[in-house]
Structures are given as C-alpha cells and as structure tokens.
Amino acid sequence: MEVQAGDAKDVAPLEVVAPISVKGHPARHVLVIDSVVPDPTRDSGSVRACQILQLLHADGWEISFLAGDGYASAGDIARLAALGVRYVDGHPLRWLRKNGHRLDAALLCRVPIATQYLGLVRQYAPRATVVFDTVDLHHLRERRAALLTGNRRLGRHAEQSRRRELAAISRSDVTLVVSADEQATLARELPGSRVELLSNIHEVHGRRQGFHARRDLLFVGGFGHPPNADAMHWFATDILPLLLADDPSITLHLVGDIDEASRRLLNREGLKIHGRVDDLAPLLDGCRLSVAPLRFGAGVKGKVNLAMSYGLPVVVTSVAAEGMHLTDGVDALVADDAERFAASVMRLYRDPELWMRLSDAALANVSNHFSVDLARRSLRGIFSRGTPSTDEA
C-alpha cells in the first residue's frame, strides 16, 4: 500500500517536531496507526485520539503517525504537527524496516488496523510494547445491531469480528477499552490478557447559559456510524411526532456528516439538519437539552460526554447510558421506548429545577470519570512498562 498525502497542491511542508527528553532520558518513540487521521470535527473517536496524542507528547514521547487509508490533507498534517506528531509519508513497510528498531511502543487503533499491522510491528519492532486500542468492541456493536434487525448475515459478521478482536487482544501486550463493562467482558473471555481502561477524554467547559436562555434539542452524530443513523430515523419516525403534538415549537438540531439520501428522508417539520459544523459551542450553549436515542452500539458515547461537559442535560436510552456512570434521574433521564423517551424530553424541557440539577450532575460526571487528568494518569500506567517514568516530570 503506497501512502499518499493528497494532491501536490494540498500538501503542506511537514513541520519537524523536536523530540522531548525526560530528565536526561532520550525521547521514547511511539508509532500510532489509525484508520484515518483524527479530525475532532468529524467524530468523538477523533476527539479522544487527539487528546491521547497531545498527552503522550506532553509526557515526552516522540510520536510518528501512520494513517491506514494512506491519505492526509495539508490540514491533517498541520493538525498532527500542532499536537507534536510526525505524519509518516511513505510506504509503511519501508518505514518499519528503517525505524522499527527505534520504537519503544506501538499503538494500534481499531481491529482492522491491529489485524493488518500487529505481525509487522512484532517483526520489525521487537522491543516495542504493542498496545491495541479497541476504541469500542466492534463485535459487540455489530451483534446488537444483528439482534435488533434480525439480520443473520450481520450476526455472522459480528462473530467474525469477535474472533479477530480476541486474536488481536491475545497477541498484544496491552489492550485498551473505553468502558468498565467492556473490560469485564474481556476479563471473562480472555482472563490472562492485560486489559486497561482508557475512556473518552473531555475538558469540562462549564455551563454558560441558564435554562431560560435556551430552547430546542440537539443530536450530534455522523451517519457513517450505523447506530447514529438508526437512532435518528427512529427518533424522527416515532418520537418527534409525539413531541410536536405536545409543543409544535420544538426543533431538533442534527449535527454530523449525513448522506443526501438520509437528508431527504429526514426532511420534515421540527428537524433541522446542520451537517458537520466547525464549532459546536453555540449549539451546546443554546440548546436546552441533548438526546441520544441509540438502540444499539458499544463503548462510551462521546456525544453524551460532550453535551455533559457543557452542562447540557441529556435524555438517553440504556444503550447510550452504558459505560457512562449515569443513574436515571440523577445524572440524566433514561428511557427505552418512544413514549417514555418523549415524556422524559418534555419533562426535562419544562422543569427548570430538574434541568439545573441534571446540569450540575453532568459537569461533575465528566470531571470525575472523563477528565484529562484521569486520562493522563491512565496513559502513564499503560505506557510505563520498560520505559523511563514521567511521574516526576
């Protein structure tokens, strides 16, 4: 596979980031491989990925990044450089042959990447600690989709994904998951493997508008991720009509990449499609609550974390609440059928006291479970084996 950096007119000169030494030690070198270059405006997984890169750089790691799709725009390269990361522009195998002996660690993100590169990293970087970041357990998400839809072919695919994920975990030194539920699942499946928790990572932005200055609902999620597309089709078909019958003035703001066919299908009263936006803050500060009507999925839901980091209360399904440390009526409202979901939305939409209580709890939840400081401590423990300690840095 030849790695390309876009057309010549789209390629910026690569900024060389100076390695950082830690108390006299030479910089440790980690190769990070993900399917694509992370873009925080695209998906929550990219938000987490960029936070991980930034924290590793701050802790003294020299970081090289390889994109599985072999593509990086000028903006992608500049974004990585700003995080202290070198983009690998060249053939991956050639790069590993030349530089593998210098690697102290390799971070392989998502099961297709781990499947493709784990053997090569073992061969050309024999002293590197291999860390497999599941991002979420793909087979769990696919199995739930199969059960929801009754799709037998998807069920068979989920089983194939399960075998691939378990094989990658068995061959890795450390595996990362985003929720304690997934950690417990793997403890049962592969009790001898080292599985560490590194969840979503969010700054606590704080509440910048009160209840009465807000209106409408918000959903954030690109339709390239099947659970998001299913959630919005269910919401538009079964939940939105109940809300509009109660309050015709309510609008749901839908943010994220969405294909033209879905745009046409969802075009209706009470639903405004924004597509991808560069700055979500105005909607997070201006909407009265966020919804996450997910019917299947896995991992931890970045859209829920993001809303809560702004003090925006959320109404979620049990699937969306999984791994989020949420209690119904304490940190969020949880409902799994259309009637209860709509009733929960209207209850929260009209109750300033409940809204403020959930807003305060949302901010505390992110601070306690998804903060940058917590992630920094987790990363230091994950990458500490066989490398100089940065705990005193």
Is residue 103 within 8 Å of 122, Cβ to Cβ? no
Q: What is the rounded end-to-end Cα distance, in angstroms, of the chain? A: 39
Residue (of 143, 140, 198, 134) closest to 168 by Cα position: 134
**What digits encode the pLDDT tens for the residues 166-200?**
999 999 999 999 888 888 888 998 998 999 999 98
Between vectors from CA 62 to CA 108 and to CA 371, what angle results, nearest 5°? 65
Residue (of 81, 65, 90, 128) closest to 1 by Cα position: 90
pTM (whole model) above 0.85:
no
**What digits encode the pLDDT tens for the residues 260-281?**
999 999 999 999 999 988 889 9
Residue (of 333, 338, 330, 311) closest to 320 by Cα position: 333
Beta bridge partners of 107: 32, 131
User: pLDDT value at position 137?
Assistant: 72
Q: Rounded CA gap, 373 and 180, in Å?
A: 18
Residues 6+ away with beta carbon under 8 Å from 184: none
User: pLDDT value at position 390?
Assistant: 37
Q: Rounded CA gap, 274 and 82, in Å?
A: 28
Q: Rounded CA gap, 120 and 3, in Å?
A: 16
Q: Rounded CA gap, 348 and 356, in Å?
A: 10
Residues 6+ away with beta carbon under 8 Å from 261: none
User: pLDDT value at position 151?
Assistant: 81
Residues with pLDDT less than 70, the chain: 1-26, 139, 385-393
Is residue 283 within 8 Å of 253, Cβ to Cβ? yes
The domain locations on the chain are 8-201+371-382, 211-369
CATH 3.30.70.20 correct for 211-369: no
One fold for 8-201+371-382 and 211-369: yes
CATH superfamily of this structure's domain 8-201+371-382: Glycogen Phosphorylase B; (3.40.50.2000)
Residue (of 360, 295, 375) closest to 48 by Cα position: 375
Q: Rounded CA gap, 159 and 138, in Å?
A: 10
